[in-house]
Amino acid sequence: MNPESRSPAVPREFVDALRDGRNFLLSSHAHPDGDAIGAEVALARLLGTVGRSATIWNVDPAPATYAGVIGDMAIHVGPTPPPGFPGDFDFVLPLECPQLDRTGLEQSLGRLPILNMDHHLGNRLYGVANWVDTEAPAVAEMVLRLAHALNAPIDAATANALYLGLSTDTGSFRFSNATPRAFDAAAELVRLGARPEQIAGWLYESRPPGAVRLLGEVLETLELHCEQRIASVRLELDMFDRAGAAQTDSEGLIDHPRSIRGVEAVALFRERPVGDVKVSLRSRGRVDVGAIASRRGGGGHRNAAGCLIGSREDESGVIAELGAAVEATAQSGCTHATAPEGGT
Amino acid sequence: MNPESRSPAVPREFVDALRDGRNFLLSSHAHPDGDAIGAEVALARLLGTVGRSATIWNVDPAPATYAGVIGDMAIHVGPTPPPGFPGDFDFVLPLECPQLDRTGLEQSLGRLPILNMDHHLGNRLYGVANWVDTEAPAVAEMVLRLAHALNAPIDAATANALYLGLSTDTGSFRFSNATPRAFDAAAELVRLGARPEQIAGWLYESRPPGAVRLLGEVLETLELHCEQRIASVRLELDMFDRAGAAQTDSEGLIDHPRSIRGVEAVALFRERPVGDVKVSLRSRGRVDVGAIASRRGGGGHRNAAGCLIGSREDESGVIAELGAAVEATAQSGCTHATAPEGGT
């Protein structure tokens, strides 16, 4: 099955530019996610099969979770350029970057002609050729289509790398970008040798014990406010010790209070050694937590944002603002509650 | 796209039998899951579009999570037959039942000719017509193919019901049955109007607050044994009160210790009011927890089983047996550890 039959064609000028080059520098955004790593690894492998060379250069290392997909492919990490830069390279190809500065390497990368390949709204079209497909479920799906356009053979390891990107960017096919195109691409990748069960094992069944214990500690602090439409949890300094957890083990904690029925906004209050508190905010639908974070000098988007507050005493103020934001979007108001309902 | 091009055809005698009937009684197994409910609801709707009638009769009620898929369709629940039984019905059609007694209604259902439709290995072929496709990722996928064979139109609500079955039985496309057929079916269902994001919201973002608190309580009891290859947690009676949790809120708790890196076997010890302890066991790969449960008078399969023990004092014996089972399948043995490593 050819997914291009249902997707817009790869722009001719993009394919032509790619055919003009011999040696490519691939990059993606800081803190690379599954789509960044999966698309980079797959594209590097594919370029190799059509007689080109590719080097991956990211500012941040890949999470250990993706090691199985990276295999023995070398990824150059950090601000120092890889050997041969820039003279040996014909093009730089940033993946998944709406702006070049998302790479964290923009001071260096701008010296080379850029082929810009992305699926984000608002991409700044900063390349000598730009392929921005906002309907693509993942950049990995665009790489799959590019392979077809280049007549590049796709082996099982490449298919697995693309599947990593597709499955992580669609939230295991649970987000709104779990479109027919996403499933068409998944079917093709599995036919080519991708292994969904293996990828899921790496992503979801390889949690450090400390992360699981830390989740237990944090959930013990769960409080509901405002007729259970707001949830808050606290991450205290001594929890890491008690749980035997690393700092990175706090990833994903906020998803649990967010999964509670009827909850529209969530705050995670994380104590920092310097004495202040980092606030992570999440919301569903029209509740704008970005505005709340912005008023306190933080940043983010409508449904995901963050800021700093001086101390735990200020937490109730944040909850009150969340209450106002929830009320502002609701048909019926909810009683302001800085005191928790229920809770432990 | 027609998934039959890649799947075995629906057996002619099954389609013929179905065409012979006018009024069908649909059933599935006790404690119906997403595939049972999704396939039943979809098949009842499809039969309606081709001039047939259908009534769903299950011994147990559907989980509240599936209410959005059931909509206004009536499901008859419990051991008492629905009105008109058996005279008004031409066939009974059990879905997802390798044996008729899995319905919990076998005393009644056996009076009618049976059309047996299932994807389980070891199905007993107890029908007048049997369609058992062990390669089908879900019975919902078989219903989709049956709709094609019957030329029955598939509306968005029917597609959504089938998507529920497909996504739950494949573990959100994370299990080994996330095959090309599964993804082909998903692509078709989403084109027909299924909404993956809506289904995921119902399944994973509608948790009762008590369930989330109970998870916190249980994870506080996490212990690792045998070089972190065994994990155990305890569910104590007073946790339900403290968490404000219902008995059904314990579902899925065991998945968390099971998700820890390197863990091969898990035990959940659940205190019961009568004083004994219910043991739920899970394992990966070749570790056989079914044998352990069986020796203690319980039952189950290699990777999922359960039994009862007299008291908490017997828990260490279960852990020791798990240790032996893990050792038996491993290249290298692990030091028997009835005392936890780490833990809180």
pLDDT for residue A342: 39
| Cα B276 to Cα B252: distance, rounded to the nearest angstrom | 21
Q: What is the ipTM of this complex?
A: 0.88
Q: Give the pLDDT confidence of B60-109 residue by residue, as tens digits.
A: 999 889 999 999 999 999 999 999 999 999 999 999 999 999 999 999 99
**What is the pTM for the complete model shown?**
0.88
What pairs with residue A92 in β-bridges?
A: A25, A114
Q: In B, residues 159-218, which contact A (CB 8 Å cutoff)?
A: 167, 171-176, 178-180, 183-184, 186-188, 190-191, 196-197, 200, 204-209, 212-213, 215-218
Report which residue type is found at B190.
Answer: V
A27 and A169 inside one domain: yes
Cβ under 8 Å to B: A residues 220-249: 220, 222, 224, 228, 231, 242-244
In a domain, A334, yes or no: no
Number of Cβ atoms within 10 Å of the Cβ of A151: 8
Cβ distance B20 to B12 under 8 Å?
A: no
Number of H helices and number of E strands within chain B? 13, 12
CA A78 – CA A176 distance, rounded (Å):
34
| Domain closes at, from B162, B185, B204 | B204
**B interface mutation test: which of A144, A163, A172 has the most B CBs within 10 A?**
A172
Residues B134 and B240 in one domain: no
* B336 found inside a domain: no
Pairing assessment for the beta strands A304-309 and B23-27 based on DSSP bridges? unpaired
In a domain, B306, yes or no: yes
Query: Rounded to an integer, what distance in angstroms lies between the CA atom of residue B322 and that of residue B296?
Result: 13
The reply to whether B314 falls in a domain is: yes
Statement to judge: residues B186 and B68 lie in one domain: yes
Establish if B344 belongs to a structural domain: no
Q: Is B7 left (phi over 0), alpha (psi -120 to 50) or beta?
A: beta
Q: What is the CATH number of the domain that holds A277?
A: 3.10.310.30
Spans in chain B with pLDDT lower than 70: 1-6, 331-344
Contact A245, A210 (CB under 8 A): yes
Which pLDDT score is estimated for B252? 87
Convert the pLDDT of each residue in A82-105 to its tens digit. Answer: 999 999 999 999 999 999 999 999
Considering A157, A172, A204, which residue would you say is the last residue of a domain?
Answer: A204
Q: Do A197 and B175 touch (CB under 8 A)?
A: yes
Helix H or strand E encompassing B326:
helix B315-329
Residues A68 and A169 in one domain: yes
Q: How far is CA B191 from the centre of its chain?
A: 26
Per-residue confidence band for A70, with pLDDT thresholds at 50, 70 and 90: very high
In a domain, A121, yes or no: yes
Q: Per the structure, how many domains does chain B have?
A: 2
> By residue range, what is the domain housing residue A232?
209-329
Query: Do B137 and B222 lie in a common domain?
Result: no
Q: Which residues of B touch A342 (CB under 8 A)?
A: 209, 244
Single out the residue of A136, A30, A41, A124 nearest to residue A79, CA to CA: A30
Q: For residue range B166-187, what is the model confidence (pLDDT) as tens digits?
A: 999 999 999 999 999 999 999 9
> Hey, are the CB atoms on B183 and A187 less than 8 Å from each other?
yes
Query: Which residues of chain A lie closer than 8 angstroms to B205, CB-CB?
Result: 258-259, 261
User: What is the number of other CB atoms lying within 10 angstroms of the CB of residue A217?
Assistant: 23
CATH code for position B72 = 3.90.1640.10
Match 């119902």 to its residue by tokens: B202
- To the nearest 10°, the Cα dihedral for A295, A296, A300, A301? -30
| Residue B89 within a domain | yes
Structure tokens at B78: 């419990």
Question: Would you say residue A339 lies in a domain?
Answer: no
Contact in structure between B161 and B42 (CB atoms under 8 Å): yes
Burial bucket for residue B279 (CB in 10 Å: 0-12, 13-18, 19+): buried
Residues B108, B242 share a domain? no
Query: How many contacts does A have with B, using Cβ atoms within 8 A?
Result: 148
Residues of chain A with Cβ-Cβ distance to B168 below 8 Å are none
